[in-house]
Amino acid sequence: MIARLTPRWLSLALLCAAIGLYFAPGARTQAQKHLTVYSRSAVYSVPIISVDGQDYIGLSDILEPLGAVDARVEGKKWKLRFTPNGGQEITAEFQQGKNKAKARGHELSLGNKFHLENDRGYIPYHDIGMVLPIFEPLPVDLHQASYRVFLGDVAIKFTTEMQKGAAPRLALNFSAPVNPTIATEPGHVRLVFRRDALVNAGPETTATGDNLITSSSFNDSAGTPQITVAGTVPLTASFANGNRTIYIAPVPSALPAAESPKPAAPPAQTAEQSPATAIPAPGPSVPAGPRFLIVIDPAHGGDERGAAITPSLAEKDVNLVIARRLQHELQNKGIAANLLRNADTAMAVDDRATATNAVHPALYICIHSANLGTGMRIFTALMSPSGATTHSFLPWSQAQAPYLDLSSQFAGSISAELNNRQVPVTALPAPLRPMRNIAAPAIAVEIAPPDETVANINNPQYQGDLVAAIANGIAAMKPRLQGVKIQ
Amino acid sequence: MIPRHLKFMALVLVVLAVVLGYSFFWLKHKAEHKQTRIAQDALPVAPPVTGPTSTATLYVADDHTGLLTRTTVTIPLPPDSSERTQQILRNLLTLYQTSPSPHAIGEGSDVKDVYFVKNGLVVVDFNNAFADKHPSGILAEELTVASIVATLRANNPQIEKVKILVEGKDRETLAGHADLETPLDAANFTQVVKDLQ
């Protein structure tokens, strides 16, 4: 009897387990949606999670780059204290599973229940427009459908102007310098503005009335603004006016023979490309030749909180904010940078090393923070340089050995930048994982507060100065790495 | 002319102020005394050491400067090398746990055992408080580890590698940063100590 029933019960149990797992909180499929926040001090993206099919967003994730966040859980209550830069402390209180909340002494009514996960508070995405103005003194402009929010007067507007004649061209005039990625494909040029707060004040599609450059259209439905210019001939893009103007023109060979000798107005930089290739916008350090990728690892995450910077401020959160700033700073310099984690998630040290080694970066940089001392410390792996080469199999614990010299050079370059800015800096080897497992140049930085006040570690100006120095130090190494062969 | 009842009230208030003031200072003194006793109780209890005194070298970490300072102490040391090393490390830990402390470590940190293994490997077993209560941070942890390794090496140049255990077990990191899984190479720490001096 038992033997006959066992397979049936087993199947039933497996089915129940599958259903249970499907509905378990950890098994929720997290949509790959992000809210892009544009502010004067930073442009950053915040992951959106799905709770019971609804979009939710971490309130402290949004606020951290804007000031000092102090959040703690008391039973089912989530108490938040936020001090905007140069502003006064604002307090708020939310409760798990409740729509009602209090902020600045006033009652709030959320469109959906407040959600608490891993001690972090999440509000319904649709309520950002209501909640954010409580904490942010500047006007908040939420573009709900495109998952973009603008804090203050940061939006960049643009106009189009078709200049007809022997050498027709479409001028895109922007209210501030822009730095898009440009892709030329058969029949159109696409400009993707990943970091620019571009908004459209006119119609979505504009017909130019020209035979060669036929129309331009704006789209930000996927969260990233794009301008697509369509044409009947291959088109090229060039920058002028300090990146405030982009000219789209037919490639010279596509112009009628009688008209082709006339050159266009002198562009600042020409972004002529063969079809179907993507190029970054010209900048001070445009990647050229072999890929120069930086992997940024915000240390700790999830249950692993790292050091307690203050009783309510965990190292893992500071690390993530600084890592996002560094990624932005590097991208502004035209240097590709990946984050190993972009949310409050746990990751084993071996997984961090495996993920890094898989992409063969020019540098792995691990971000730490601490409340001891001031300034910044830079660490390389503490190990003996082995006689092994990168061409042979290396023990997992010795993967860093052939790269120690380059790692030290990166540390030296960043130290020099920090010295120029008179930031106290110490460079040391340290017994740290996963650095010894990284098969690429690898460093770790530990950021300490600027002065005796530990909470100042969250000062955006201070963090901005440090990441600028780190990014400059990395950029300075780029030409030195060209042609370097590691034995 | 001040009424008599007002004079009486003033006198009562003065007496009350004196009594309250005395009580406050007495309670404060009692609390401070209790605090000192708790701190002393938390210090590692070293077995009584007798015998001739010897000079030992300690590398003492300083949180304020982020550096290590070489210093010598004259203390009674047992002849057995394991017990001797344990005693030297206990002195170092006691120094860190005595106010004002130059370097913060976990309250109640202690060395449980020291084993000398072949080929210059020494295994040092600490108690849970040493790791569980240690302040977290790369520099904070490195100062502790470097101070221990340098002190061991300074008093016994034969030591080449140091393996740190906690309650007899392997531990991944000291407090989230310094790697304790791999035995620490004393020669590698020589450069660290130079950098930290």
List, for residues A248-307, the tens digit of each pLDDT value. 888 765 555 444 333 333 333 333 333 333 333 333 333 334 478 999 999 999 989 999
| Burial A59-70, CB ≥16 within 10 A → b, else e | bbbbbbbbbbbb
* pLDDT score at B87: 94
The rounded mean pLDDT for chain A is 80
- In this prediction, what percent of chain A has a pLDDT beyond 90? 34
Residues on chain B touching A307 (C-beta within 8 angstroms): 135-137, 140, 175-176
Among candidates B66, B178, B185 on the partner chain, residue whose Cβ is nearest the Cβ of A373? B66
Does residue A239 register a pLDDT over 50?
yes
| In chain B, % of residues over pLDDT 90 | 59
Residues A430, B138: C-beta atoms closer than 8 Å: yes
Residue B137: its pLDDT value, please? Answer: 95
- CB-based contact A173:A162 (threshold 8 Å): no
Q: Which of residues 357-396 of A touch B (CB under 8 A)?
A: 368, 370-373, 377, 379, 382-384
In the structure, what pLDDT confidence band is assigned to residue B42 with cuts at 50, 70 and 90?
low
Per-residue pLDDT, A252 = 65
Mean pLDDT of chain B: 87
What mean pLDDT comes out for the span B130-144?
96
Mean pLDDT is highest, among A178-187, A205-214, A383-392, for: A205-214
- Please, which residues have CB within 8 angstroms of residue A211's CB and are 6 or more apart in sequence? A232
Chain B residues interacting with chain A (CB cutoff of 8 angstroms): 63, 66, 135-140, 142, 145, 172-173, 175-179, 181-182, 184-185, 187-189, 191-192, 195-196
Using one digit for the tens of pLDDT, what is the confidence trace for A359-382? 899 999 999 999 999 999 999 999
Q: How confident is the model at residue A22 (pLDDT cuts 50, 70, 90)?
A: very low
Could you read off the pLDDT of A150-174 as tens digits, one per residue?
988 889 999 999 988 778 899 999 9
Give me the pLDDT at residue A195, please: 74
pTM, full prediction: 0.55
Chain B interface, best mutation among A372, A384, A437, A446, by max B CB count within 10 A: A372
Spacing of C-alpha A41 from chain mean position: 14
Burial class (CB in 10 A: 0-12, 13-18, 19+), A267: buried
Between CA A349 and CA A435 the distance in angstroms is 9
Of A426, A427, A446, nearest to B137 by CB-CB distance is A446
How far is the C-alpha of A92 from the C-alpha of A109, rounded, in Å? 13
User: How far is Cα A103 from Cα A81, in angstroms, rounded to an integer?
Assistant: 10
Alpha-carbon distance A365 to nearest alpha carbon in chain B (angstroms): 14
Whether residue B8 is predicted with pLDDT greater than 80 in this model: the reply is yes
Question: Closest residue of A to B103, CA-based?
Answer: A372
Contacts of A428 in chain B (CB under 8 A): 142, 192, 195-196
Contact assignment for B179 to A431 by CB distance below 8 Å: yes
Dihedral over Cα of A119, A120, A126, A130: its sign: positive
Please report the pLDDT score of residue A267 as a whole number: 33
What does the pLDDT look like over A300-348, one tens digit per residue? 999 899 999 998 899 999 999 999 999 999 999 899 999 999 888 889 9
Number of A–B residue contacts, CB under 8 Å: 82
- Quote the pLDDT of residue A104: 85
Q: Which of B66, B142, B185 sits opposite A430 (nearest CB)?
A: B142
Q: Is pLDDT larger for residue B163 or for residue A479?
A: B163
- Contact across the interface for A429 and B66, Cβ inside 8 Å: no
Please answer whether residues A234 and A251 qualify as being in contact, where contact means their C-beta atoms are separated by less than 8 angstroms.
Answer: yes
Output the six-digit token pair for B150. Answer: 């340098």
Task: Determine how many CB atoms are found less than 10 A away from the CB of residue B100.
Answer: 4
Tell me the per-residue pLDDT of B50-68, one tens digit each, with 9 for 90 and over.
Answer: 667 889 999 999 999 889 9
Q: Distance between CA A463 and CA A46 in Å, rounded?
A: 18
Rounded to the nearest angstrom, the minimum Cα separation between A429 and chain B is 7
| Contact in structure between A447 and A367 (CB atoms under 8 Å) | yes
Q: Do B138 and A377 touch (CB under 8 A)?
A: yes
pLDDT at A463 over 90: yes
Residue A120 identity (one-letter amino acid): R
Among candidates A372, A397, A429 on the partner chain, residue whose Cβ is nearest the Cβ of B137: A372
Statement: residue A465 has pLDDT above 90: yes
Its ipTM equals: 0.77
Q: Which of A30-34, A223-227, A401-405, B106-110 has the lowest mean pLDDT?
A: A30-34
- Looking at CA atoms only, how far is residue A297 from chain B in angstroms? 14
Q: What would the 3-class secondary structure string for chain A be?
A: CHHHHHHHHHHHHHHHHHHHHHHCHHHCCCCCEEEEEECCCCEEEEEEEEECCEEEEEHHHHHHHHEEEEEEEECCEEEEEEEECCCCCEEEEEECCCCEEEECCEEEECCCCCEEECCEEEEEHHHHHHHHHHHCCCCEEEECCCCEEEECCCCECEEEEEECCCCCEEEEEECCCCCCEEEEECCEEEEECCCCCECCCCCCEEECCCCCEEEEEEECCCCCCEEEEEECCCEEEEEECCCCEEEEEECHHHCCCCCCCCCCCCCCEEECCCCCEEECCCCCCCCCCCCCEEEEEECCECCECCCEEECCEEHHHHHHHHHHHHHHHHHHCCCEEEECCCCCCCCCHHHHHHHHHHHCCCEEEEEEECCCCCCEEEEEECCCCCCCCCCCCCCHHHCCHHHHHHHHHHHHHHHHHHHHCCCCEEEEEECECCHHHCCCCEEEEEECCCCCCHHHHHCHHHHHHHHHHHHHHHHHHHHHHCCCCCC
Q: Distance (Å, rounded) from C-alpha B113 to C-alpha B50? A: 19
- Cα A336 off chain centre by: 11
Q: Where does residue A253 fall: left (phi above 0), alpha (psi -120 to 50 degrees), or beta otherwise?
A: alpha
From A306, A377, A383, residue closest to B136, measured CB to CB: A306
Give the tens place of pLDDT for each residue, A91-121: 999 999 999 999 888 888 998 999 988 788 9
Would you call B138 and A382 a contact, using CB atoms and an 8 Å cutoff?
no
Q: Of A442, A341, A368, A339, whose CA–CA distance to A399 is shortest?
A: A442
What would the pLDDT profile of A407-453 be if each residue is shown by its tens digit?
Answer: 999 999 999 999 888 888 999 999 999 999 999 999 999 999 999 89
Pick from A404, A455, A448: nearest CA to A426: A448
Give the end-to-end CA distance of chain A in Å, rounded to a whole number.
Answer: 69
Mean pLDDT of B21-28: 80
Question: Smallest Cβ distance to B138: which of A371, A379, A384?
Answer: A379
- Does A316 contact chain B (CB < 8 Å)? no
